[in-house]
């Protein structure tokens, strides 16, 4: 093989160039995102522990929301605080409407109002979306019902209503309540009510209440056979007949019939 001295010269030149390429020259551009020494102030991880069970054997709202499926379709007692209450006047009244005018509209058409209901939580600050919905709460007869029904045809325990300003303690079934009140409720824990309110997390169909804040408790229902006592209709059937007489229309049937006239 012939000797090529120029090839050695090129090789030496390349080797001589390598040290000249310093470390800084071989690095690419620096990253735009740089590490920071600032430590983020993250919120505390919320606790998932269950509140202590009440000593009276009742349930907490959080217990029912977390693991209440096994209690569905049973009667239970719940202890808590009222966090929201439905008020028809507030819901119906228009922005520029006088209070007296709104009340008159409600008196003329009670169907503007929804059924009485409220929410309870484990404490006064529980948001409504984490509270338990309580439905079928007794309410006073409205003026149209009183106008179209004689007193003898109004039966509080059957209608789940009470006379306005009722003085008989045995018939005072409409509970007093306000947001913030501490209460103990008994009712049926279900996902739907007899009047089609629905909640997949469960709701409580009201049966009785003890308002600890207002020192009030539901009266005991009359004994079986009492014409004024509760006499619910069979599931899916017509209204049950009161002893000694045929089935009678509900207060709402009477109101609806008055409208048609």
Q: Taking the CA atoms of 152, 205, 218 and 236 in sequence, report the sign of the dihedral they define.
A: positive
What mean pLDDT, rounded, does the chain reach?
80
Q: What is the CA radius of gyration of the chain?
A: 36
Is the whole model's pTM more than 0.75, yes or no? Answer: no
Q: Print the SS3 string covering the chain.
A: CCCCHHHHHHHHHHHHHHHHCCHHHHCCCCCCCCCCCCCCCCCCCCCCCCCCCCCCCCECHHHHHHHCHHHCCEEEEEEEEEEEECCHHHHHCCCCCCHHHHHHHHHHCHHHCCCCCEEEECCCCCCHHHCEEEECCCEECCHHHHHHCCHHHCCHHHHCEECCCCCCHHHCCCCCCCCCCEEEEEEEEEEECCCCCEEEEEEEEEEEEEECCCCEECCCCCCCCCCCCCCCCCCCCCCCCCCCCCCCCCHHHHHHHHHHC
Model pLDDT, residue 40: 74
pLDDT of residue 210: 97
Average the pLDDT over each of 82-86, 173-177, 211-215, 240-244 and give the range with the smallest value.
240-244
Phi-psi region of 102 (alpha: psi -120 to 50; beta: other; left: phi over 0): alpha
pLDDT of residue 240: 46
pLDDT in tens, 12-52: 555 455 555 555 566 666 666 666 677 777 777 655 566 66
Measured on CA atoms in the order 222, 225, 226, 232, is the torsion positive or negative? positive
Instruction: Compute the distance between CA of residue 69 and CA of residue 126 in angstroms, rounded to an integer.
Output: 21
Cα gap 205→202, rounded to integer Å? 10
* pLDDT at residue 244 tops 70: no
220 vs 17, which has greater pLDDT? 220
237 pLDDT higher than 60? no
Contact 235, 205 (CB under 8 A): no
β pairing state of 132-135 and 118-121: antiparallel
What is the Cα–Cα distance from 114 to 130, expressed in whole angstroms? 21
pLDDT score, position 226: 75
- Determine the pLDDT at residue 21: 53
Per the document, the length of the chain is 261
What is the percentage of the chain residues whose pLDDT exceeds 90? 57
């Amino acid at each position: 093989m012939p000797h090529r001295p120029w090839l050695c010269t090129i090789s030496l030149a390349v080797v001589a160039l390598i040290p000249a390429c310093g470390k800084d020259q071989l690095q690419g551009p620096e990253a735009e995102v740089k590490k920071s020494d600032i430590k983020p102030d993250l919120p505390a991880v919320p606790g998932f522990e269950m509140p202590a069970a009440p000593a009276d054997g009742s349930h907490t709202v959080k217990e029912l929301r977390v693991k209440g499926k096994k209690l569905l379709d049973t009667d239970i007692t719940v202890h808590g605080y009222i966090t929201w209450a439905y008020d028809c006047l507030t819901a119906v009244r228009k922005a520029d409407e006088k209070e007296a005018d709104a009340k008159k509209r409600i008196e003329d058409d009670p169907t503007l109002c929804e059924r009485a209901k409220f929410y309870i939580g484990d404490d006064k600050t529980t948001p409504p979306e984490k509270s338990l919905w309580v439905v079928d709460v007794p309410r006073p007869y409205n003026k149209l019902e009183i106008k179209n029904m004689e007193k003898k045809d109004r039966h509080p325990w059957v209608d789940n209503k009470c006379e306005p300003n009722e003085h008989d303690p045995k018939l005072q079934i409409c509970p007093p309540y306000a947001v913030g009140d501490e209460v103990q409720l008994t009712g049926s824990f279900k996902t739907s009510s007899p009047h089609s309110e629905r909640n997949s997390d469960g709701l409580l169909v009201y049966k009785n209440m003890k308002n600890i804040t207002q020192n009030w408790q539901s009266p005991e229902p009359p004994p079986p056979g009492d014409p004024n006592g509760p006499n619910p209709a069979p599931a899916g059937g017509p209204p049950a007949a009161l002893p000694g007489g045929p089935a009678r229309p509900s207060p709402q049937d009477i109101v609806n019939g008055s409208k048609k006239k």
